[in-house]
Structure 1
């Protein structure tokens, strides 16, 4: 009877050890799976962020190009305005000369 009892204790101990080993194995396996899932999710998220940053960068480049184009156009308009101002001054000067001439000649 003692032998049966010792065998039962050995069987129970063996089942406990097997259960413990299985629990440890499954715990590590689950941790590895979670880690892989986390890495995969991080990779996807990083890819999305990188794609959005590329899009923003392209948008900024387009804005910079538009800004340079507008700056050139403003400069061209300013030069044209300066030429027109000079032309208007010259026209006023000629008109003033004509008025003086008319006054002198009495027309």
Structure 2
């Protein structure tokens, strides 16, 4: 009879241990799943931010290109103006 009680206690202990293990494992899986979801959401925000930066960079590159063209035109115009001034000075002497 004492062996049966000892066996019953040992089996009960094993069952309780197994159930506790299963419960903690499920809790851990839920926690991991929640953390994975949070990480994916953060990556989504980062990805959107990078996309916004790329769009702004393209717009800035276009503006810089347009300014470069305008500077070139102004330089050409200034060069022509200097030639005209030089010609006027030659004629005036």
- Give the TM-score band, short-chain normalised: over 0.9
Q: Find the aligned partners of 2:54 and 2:9 in 1 and give their Cα distance.
A: 66
Matched with 1:82 is: 72
Q: Find the aligned partners of 1:15 and 1:63 in 2 and give their Cα distance.
A: 71
TM-score by length of 2: 0.94
Matched with 2:9 is: 19
Residue segments in structure 1 that go unaligned for 5+ positions in a row: 1-9
TM-score by length of 1: 0.82
Q: What's the offset of the Cα at 1:30?
A: 0.5
**Which consecutive segments of 4 or more residues in structure 1 shift more than 4 A?**
none
Q: CA RMSD in A?
A: 0.9
Q: Find the aligned partners of 2:8 and 2:45 in 1 and give their Cα distance.
A: 55
Instruction: Return the index of the structure with the highest Cα Rg.
Output: 1
Matched with 1:7 is: none
Q: What's the offset of the Cα at 1:98?
A: 1.1
Matched with 1:65 is: 55
Residue segments in structure 2 that go unaligned for 5+ positions in a row: none
